[in-house]
Amino acid sequence: MKKRFLLAVVLIMTLIIAACSDGTANEVEKNQGDKKEEAKSGGRLLLGTTAAPTLFNPYYSTDTSSSTIEGFIFSGLVTVDTDFNPEGDLAESWEFSDDGLTWTFKLRENVKWHDGEDFTADDVVFSYNIPLHEDYIGPRGLPFEIIEEVNKVDDYTVEIILSEPYAPFITITAQFEILPEHILGDVPIADLGKQAFNTKEPIGTGPFKFTEWKEGEYIQLDAFEDYFKGKPKLESIIYKIVPDTNTLMAQLQVGDINLAGISPQYIETAKKLEEQGKVEVSTGDSNAFEYIGYNLRNDLFKDKEVRQALTHAIDKDAIVQAILDGAGTVAHGPGSPANWAFNPDMPEFEYNPELAKKKLEEAGWTPGADGVLEKDGKKFEFVLKTTSANEIRQQIAEVVQQQWSEIGVKVSIELLEWSAYVEQTSPPLWNFDAIVAGWSIGSDPDPTWFWHTSEIENGLNYNGFSNARVDELLSKNTQISDLEERKRIIAEADAIVAEEQPNTFLYYVQGSLAKSPTLHGPEFNAANTYYKIHEWYFD
Amino acid sequence: MASYIVRRILYAIPLLFLITIISFGMMKMAPGDPTALMMDPMIKKENLVAYQEAYGLNDNVLVQYVRWLGNMVQGNFGESLIRQGVPISDLITARLPNTLLLMLVSSFIAFLISIPLGVISATKRNSLTDYSITFVSFLGIATPNFWIGLVLIMVFSVNLGWFPTGGVSTLGEPFSIWDRIHHLILPALVLATADMAGLTRYSRSSMLDVLRQDYIRTAKANGFKNSTVIFKHGFRNGLIPIITILGLMLPSFIGGSVIIESIFAWPGIGLLFVEAAFQRDYPVIMAVVVIAATLVVVGNLLADILYAVFDPRIEY
């Protein structure tokens, strides 16, 4: 009887193993020699990510993994090069009228969808009308809000009329990928987010076509022979889901992954692997900044001098060196050096605890019996919130807590799980004194989101920052299509923000990319990691 | 016996019901909702509200629960809120077999290794062997699972290259049993270690208990060989309490699989649960909770039935 039991167990195990198979057993077996040869020259790019994608439709997805894969499958009218300059993709060329309201795109001819159909102006008209539709339930309404109408002039010319001049139109809106009208044209817009197209059979015009989504494991994309910029050299892309970063690093090390972004905590490991010749690491400024944000609704932070004093008390350089291993650039104001609109001459409040104490004393804060600053019987103490989802921010909170205690400011740290953190810090609660946080800027440098008074109520201006001159400049910035003039305006606004210090700007984030030494093409840049991916290849 | 089983199943229904109420309540108490992830300047407030309306996220919690329960009772887990349009049953059927396989194999490994160790430990009580096994057991209890997992990956996958670094099978290779087993060994072993230590201790004390019984002394006095006494008279009786442990181990296997699946990139329901929890994908969270709870209830029921099978003295 015992034997039979054992047999049953083995049988069940075998059955389950067989049930897990994906039916590839029927494929012709290749001999071992072939396989080795293929691995060397075959050009299968293994990408690694810790977060699984959600769906492949740019008008409905919001996560990075999905948008990366969308970039392989679909194409937009324009894309950006490695310096955020717009570059024609499906559009061959474009021009705008003198009032900045009418944009005319000349489309490429002979572009094929993955199912062999021709790409035409109808597809553009269809796609851009999705977020404009009254039944649209999706996260991408805002970039299309300024569009008045989208007109087909002929099969390969599209005219887009805006309700007001809007500079980011070309770098944000025109980058949205185009969907096939011949497949989705008849779907009611309200149901578009739930189509099987988005998860099982997306059809695009991009360099790689969707082949398979193996639940929880990987997404496979194969080269599209008729890609309009030429057949990609890589045969396929496997987008692997590896939830644990330590495992991801191990996979990178043994070549189970060829390319992965490296988060700051793992730079040291990546550098070690580079010394051993197992990977190559490229780094650069990414388009983001980290900061300590003050809630200006709180009386403690109403005085500009006090905010500047708090900044004087923080040794940003030590934070960058000790917590980031030097993988960051000390910041004094908003923006990012990776961005063309960056202002390198903003007011600076250098590390100087003595000056911090002096400024606070001038503002009426004097040390109490326990060393904590007091003013009118009120102690200078508050809660610094950040998310447990980000180890670096936790460490920053600890260092800052220590450094502030040295000038008599008492801070307690509260760590919140990501969703809880977002809910507490964002509108309409703004339930925080100060936060350790960061912003990523996006492909257009428009700072309106962070500092304009109109963004307080519902937007990203969590601080509640309001400055008349900044409002004026920011309202102007998106109306100007001339880059140099726009740059001057953004620079002036950023300098005022830096002077006002609604945030202590800590550092500009550095990004890193690790790749297999045999892979040619990828190079770290903040704008477009997969720029010209159809030209990448393996030795 | 049959009436006992029916009774147990009937008891299980209110229990499962209670579990869903508590989980649903806890889940809803957690701050944020699926739209919290979409914190993005490109979202129009109206669209966000329309989304919440479309999925009934603004309704009263009770209304939401009753709606969910109504669908669940009809066997409909609903659709994912994040991966719109994807039926949750698709996600579960793709992933559950992987988790079951992992759990089955690792409990098999755990029993295969720890019961003999426990028996040896008991029969050679207070010897060097006993102390060594005890020491290793406690080390196993004290060491976090994920750490063992990472160390094994570093040693056996990265440095020695004996095992793959994760996943269920080699990418792009045709299906083969050996390939599957090759991928299964490390995660199953690590998941097994969590319970191996405890199991060894249980079987040791259970055996010790049995070996002190009168009938063992009688058997010895009758001049039976020592090995016959231990295995024929002792072992079978010592095994009975272990069956209870089998039932109790199930929850820890499910909990453990959440961590192990994450480290070994094993596409099971544990991993699905973690993703869904962070995304506040409510119907997916609830689906996994129901499945895990059902597994535990069924596991305990099986253990109780087996108990009766192995111990003729027990009648229901």
According to DSSP, the residues that pair with A371 across neighbouring strands are: none
The winner for highest mean pLDDT among A167-171, A502-506, B2-6, B294-298 is A502-506
Tell me if A139 and B40 make a contact (CB, 8 A cut-off): yes
B103, B191 contact by CB (below 8 A): yes
Tokens of B199: 């199991």
Tell me if B94 and A137 make a contact (CB, 8 A cut-off): no
pLDDT, one tens digit per residue, over A381-415 is 999 999 988 889 999 999 999 999 999 999 999 99
DSSP A150: E
B71, B316 contact by CB (below 8 A): no
Residues of chain A contacting B100 with CB distance shorter than 8 Å? 16
Q: How far apart are CA A160 and CA A154, in angstroms?
A: 13
Please state the pTM of the whole predicted model.
0.82
B145-152 vs B240-263: helix crossing angle, rounded to 10: 60
- The rounded mean pLDDT for chain B is 84
How would residue B226 be classed by pLDDT, with cut points 50, 70 and 90? confident
Q: Is A329 left (phi over 0), alpha (psi -120 to 50) or beta?
A: beta
Over its C-alpha atoms, chain B yields an Rg (Å, rounded) of 24
Q: Where are the beta strands (DSSP E) in A14-170?
A: 44-49, 78-80, 86-88, 91-96, 102-107, 147-154, 157-162
pLDDT at A8: 39
pLDDT, greater one: B232 or A318: A318
pLDDT at A41: 45
pLDDT at B177: 85
A32: pLDDT strictly greater than 50 = no
Long-range contacts of A215-218 (CB under 8 A, 24+ apart): A215/B90, A215/B91, A215/B94, A215/B95, A215/B267, A216/A52, A216/A241, A216/B94, A216/B95, A216/B98, A216/B267, A216/B268, A216/B271, A216/B272, A217/A241, A217/B167, A217/B168, A217/B265, A217/B267, A218/B171
Q: Is B85 on the interface with A (CB under 8 A)?
A: yes
How would residue A331 be classed by pLDDT, with cut points 50, 70 and 90? very high
Name every residue whose Cβ is closer than 8 Å to that of residue A527 and which is 6 or more positions away in sequence: A80, A81, A82, A83, A84, A287, A338, A443
How would residue B61 be classed by pLDDT, with cut points 50, 70 and 90? confident
A121, A155 contact by CB (below 8 A): yes
Residue among A194, A195, A449 whose CB faces B41 most closely? A449
B88-123 vs B128-142: helix crossing angle, rounded to 10: 160
Tell me if B39 and A29 make a contact (CB, 8 A cut-off): no
pLDDT, greater one: A307 or B295: A307
A6: pLDDT strictly greater than 50 = no
Tell me if B101 and A20 make a contact (CB, 8 A cut-off): yes
DSSP secondary structure of B94-143: HHHHHHHHHHHHHHHHHHHHHHHHHHHHHHTTTSHHHHHHHHHHHHHHHS
Q: Which of B48, B57, B86, B179 to mutate to test the interface with A (most CBs of A within 10 A)?
A: B86
Tell me if A215 and B268 make a contact (CB, 8 A cut-off): no
A205: pLDDT strictly greater than 90 = yes
pLDDT at A77: 96
A160, A176 contact by CB (below 8 A): no
Q: Is B38 on the interface with A (CB under 8 A)?
A: yes
Tell me if A136 and B153 make a contact (CB, 8 A cut-off): no
B194: enclosing H helix or E strand = helix B177-211
How would residue A42 be classed by pLDDT, with cut points 50, 70 and 90? low
Q: How far apart are CA A439 and CA A502, in angstroms?
A: 14
pLDDT at B235: 77
Q: List the domain boundaries for chain B.
A: 2-73, 91-310
pLDDT, one tens digit per residue, over B136-188 is 888 888 888 888 889 999 899 888 889 998 888 888 778 888 888 889 999 99
pLDDT at A212: 93
Residue A533 CA from chain centroid, whole number: 19
Tell me if A13 and B108 make a contact (CB, 8 A cut-off): yes
The distance of A475 to chain B (nearest Cα, Å) reads 16
In this structure, what are the phi and psi dihedrals at residue B312, rounded to the nearest 5 degrees?
A: -60, -20
Q: Which of A147, A237, A251, A257 to mutate to test the interface with B (most CBs of B within 10 A)?
A: A251
Residues B54, B59, B61: CA angle, nearest 5 degrees:
130
pLDDT, greater one: A19 or A369: A369
Q: Give the class (CATH, top level) of B91-310.
A: mainly alpha
- The rounded mean pLDDT for chain A is 88
pLDDT, one tens digit per residue, over B140-149 is 888 888 888 8
According to DSSP, the residues that pair with A382 across neighbouring strands are: A411
Lowest average pLDDT, out of A131-140, A242-251, B48-57, goes to B48-57
Chain A's closest residue to B91, CA to CA, is A215
Please measure the distance between the N-terminal and C-terminal CA atoms of chain A and give it in whole angstroms: 58
The distance of A91 to chain B (nearest Cα, Å) reads 23
pLDDT, one tens digit per residue, over A443-494 is 889 999 899 999 998 888 999 999 999 999 999 998 887 788 999 999 999 9
DSSP secondary structure of A394-424: HHHHHHHHHHHHTTT-EEEEEEE-HHHHHHH
Pairing state between β A44-49 and A236-241 = parallel
DSSP B222: T
Q: Which residue carries 């008209």 as its tokens?
A: A125
A7: pLDDT strictly greater than 50 = no
How would residue B309 be classed by pLDDT, with cut points 50, 70 and 90? confident
The distance of A485 to chain B (nearest Cα, Å) reads 24
Q: How far apart are CA B273 and CA B74, in angstroms?
A: 22
Please measure the distance between the N-terminal and C-terminal CA atoms of chain B and give it in whole angstroms: 6
Chain A's closest residue to B175, CA to CA, is A25
A11: pLDDT strictly greater than 50 = no
Tell me if A17 and B181 make a contact (CB, 8 A cut-off): yes
Residue closest to B165 by CA, chosen among A40, A52, A256, A277: A256
A40: pLDDT strictly greater than 70 = no
Lowest average pLDDT, out of A32-36, A241-245, B57-61, goes to A32-36
- Mean pLDDT for A422-433 is 89
pLDDT at A17: 41
Lowest average pLDDT, out of A23-32, A315-324, A506-515, goes to A23-32
According to DSSP, the residues that pair with A227 across neighbouring strands are: none
Q: Is B39 on the interface with A (CB under 8 A)?
A: yes
Q: How far apart are CA A225 and CA A232, in angstroms?
A: 7
Q: How far apart are CA A327 and CA A346, in angstroms?
A: 21
Tell me if A214 and B150 make a contact (CB, 8 A cut-off): no
* Cα dihedral A316→A318→A320→A321 (10° resolution): 160
Chain A residues 414-473 with CB within 8 Å of chain B? 417-420, 422-424, 426, 442, 449, 458-460
Task: Count CB-CB contacts under 10 A for residue A366.
Answer: 11
A376, A415 contact by CB (below 8 A): no
Chain A residues 165-194 with CB within 8 Å of chain B? 172, 193-194
pLDDT at A5: 41
pLDDT at A12: 41
Tell me if B51 and A25 make a contact (CB, 8 A cut-off): no
pLDDT, greater one: B255 or B262: B262
The winner for highest mean pLDDT among A143-152, A158-167, A306-315, B228-237 is A306-315
B229: pLDDT strictly greater than 80 = no
B80: pLDDT strictly greater than 70 = yes
The distance of B159 to chain A (nearest Cα, Å) reads 9
- Mean pLDDT for A254-271 is 88
Tell me if B31 and A13 make a contact (CB, 8 A cut-off): no
A21: pLDDT strictly greater than 60 = no
How would residue A35 be classed by pLDDT, with cut points 50, 70 and 90? very low
pLDDT, one tens digit per residue, over B13-29 is 888 889 899 988 888 88
Q: Which of A7, A13, A147, A173 to mutate to test the interface with B (most CBs of B within 10 A)?
A: A13
